[in-house]
Amino acid sequence: MRRMTLTGDQHLVKRINRMALVRLLREEPGLSRADLSTHSGLTKSTISILAKELIDEGWLLEEEAQHTGSLGRRPKPLRLNSQRLALIGAELGIDAIQTAAVTINGEVIESQRTPLRSLEPQQACHQLIAQVLSLAAEVKERHYRLMGIGVGLPGAVDERAGVLKFAPNIGWRDVELGKRLSGEAAAAGLDVPIYYQNEADLAAIGEFEFGEGPADDPLIFLSCGIGVGAGIVLNDRLFSGASGLAGEIGHTILQMGGPMCSCGRRGCAEALIGARHIATPEDAARAGAYLGVLIQNVWMTFNPTVIVLGGETVERGAEFLDPALSAVQQFAAEAGIAPPQIRIARYGSLATAVGGAAYVLHCMLRPIYG
C-alpha cells in the first residue's frame, strides 16, 4: 500500500516571503539584502535567492553600491521597478467605461474613457473587455508585463462568485459578471487574473495602496456621484461585510419620509446627495449639508484616520464641499473631539480605475488571502 506523504504548502510560503520583501521595499525603498534579512528574519541566502527572482521578474531594481566608508563588499540598494510590471483597472460606470494602466508604484501609464453603449450585461461586458484589450496592447507595446485586471462595479458585489448582486442605478440584480468577463477575456487570449469589487471599495484601495507615506488605516472613501457609496479599509484589508453590502451608505436613511430613492425607499442619502438631485448652487449647498451628516455618521461608526471624498459631485468644489466641512466642524465642536483628516481623492475621476489596478497589487501582496 502506497504511503501518503503530508507536506506543507511550500509554494505558498515562498510567495509570502517574496511579497514580504516587496512590501518592505515599498515602505523603505533602498534597503539592501542585508537590511532585508534583518527586517524580515529570513536568512541571507534566502534573501539572495528571492531578490534575484524578483529582479529577474521585474519587481525590483538594483542600484549601484553605496559608499559606506568600510572595507568589504558595499551594499546595493533595492527599489521597486516602475518600468517593467503593469496593472489594469476598469470601472463599469453608470454611463461610461473608464480604464487605466498603472505601474506597481501607482504611476498612470495610460487611461481611456468611452461612453457605455448598452446596459445589457453581455454587451457591457464585451465593451469593457474590448477596452481592456486595447489598453493591454498599449502596455505591451511599451514593454510592460501585465500582471492582472481589477474591475469596479456600480453596486454590491459577491467577489468570490463574481456576481453583481444589486445595482439599482442600472437596474441589475444578481448578474454573473465574473463568468461573462472571464469568458470574454479567455476568448481574447488574455491570460491574467481578474478581480471584481464595488467601485467605491476599489477607490479606497487605490488611496490605501498608492498614498504618500505610510498607509492610512482605517481609511474610508466616500464616492459621491449619481450613486453614493463607501469603501472601507480596516486592519490592512478591505471590509466588504458578510455578503458584499458593507459600504452601501447611499441607501442609509438620512431623512424619514424624504424624497424617493432608486432603491424604492424614501430619504436615502443617494436621494439627497446624488448628482441627479443637484441642479443649482442652492441644491449643491443643501446636498453638501447632508454630506456633512453622512460624514459624521461614518466618522462615528468607524473612527477612521482619514476620509477621502471623490466622485463627480465632489468636483463641483466649494459650493458642495464647504457646507459639508462646515457641518462636520460643527459636530466636532459640539462633541469636543477632533474630526478625522478629510481630503479629496488623489486620482480624481480615475479613482476607481486606478483602484482596480491597486486591488490586483493589494491581493498579490497578501498571497495568503489571494
CATH number at residue 331: 3.30.420.40
Structural domain range at position 57 = 10-80
The answer to whether residues 86 and 145 touch, using CB atoms and an 8 Å cutoff, is yes
Final residue before a domain boundary, out of 176, 203, 230: 203
In sequence order, which ranges of 225-335 are alpha helices (DSSP H)? 269-273, 281-302, 318-335
Domain termination residue (choose one: 35, 61, 80): 80
What integer pLDDT is reported at residue 244 of this predicted model?
74
Give the pLDDT of residue 215. Answer: 80
Query: Is 357 a member of any domain?
Result: no
Residues 249 and 155 in one domain: no
217 lies in the same domain as 339: yes
pLDDT of res. 367 = 86
- Asked if residue 190 belongs to a domain, the reply is yes
Those residues whose C-beta lies under 8 Å from the C-beta of residue 127, and which sit 6 or more positions away, are 97, 114, 116, 117, 118
The answer to the question of residue 41 being in a domain is yes
Instruction: Please calculate the CA angle 11-244-204 and round it to the nearest 5 degrees.
Output: 75
Within-domain flag for 1: no
Q: Is residue 52 part of a domain?
A: yes
Rounded-to-10 torsion of CA 195, 197, 199, 204: -90
Domain boundary residue, one of 80, 102, 121? 80
Three cell numbers, residue 103: 505601474
**Are the C-beta atoms of residues 164 and 142 closer than 8 Å to each other?**
no
Answer yes or no: do 156 and 123 share one domain: yes
pLDDT at 67: 62
pLDDT score, position 80:
95
Examine the domain organization and report whether 251 and 272 are in the same domain. yes
Same domain, 158 and 261: no
In a domain, 22, yes or no: yes
216 and 308 belong to one structural domain: yes
Residues 199 and 317 grouped into a single domain: no
Does one domain contain both 216 and 340?
yes
218 and 341 in a common domain: yes
Mean pLDDT by groups of 10 residues along the chain of 370 residues: 51 92 94 95 95 96 72 81 96 94 97 95 91 94 96 87 84 88 87 92 96 86 93 93 84 94 91 93 95 96 96 94 97 96 96 97 84
Predicted pLDDT of residue 2:
41
CATH number at residue 69: 1.10.10.10
Is the residue at 33 inside a domain? Answer: yes
Give the separation between CA 181 and CA 187, rounded to whole angstroms: 10
**Pair (331, 317) in one structural domain:** yes
Q: Would you state the pLDDT for residue 73?
A: 65
Residues 76 and 64: beta-carbon distance below 8 Å = yes
Spell out a b/e string for 52-62, using b for 16 or more CB atoms within 10 Å of the CB, else e.
Answer: eebeeebbbbb
258-262 — which CB contacts under 8 Å span 24+ positions?
Answer: 261/168, 262/168, 262/169
CA distance 288 to 177: 34
Task: Clarify whether residues 224 and 184 are in a common domain.
Answer: no
The predicted structure's pLDDT at residue 1:
36
Give the pLDDT of residue 68. Answer: 57
Same domain, 134 and 45: no
Three cell numbers, residue 127: 465593451
> How many CA within 13 A on the CB side of residue 261?
27
Please check whether residue 313 lies inside any domain of the structure.
yes
For the chain, what is the domain count?
Answer: 3
pLDDT of residue 102: 98
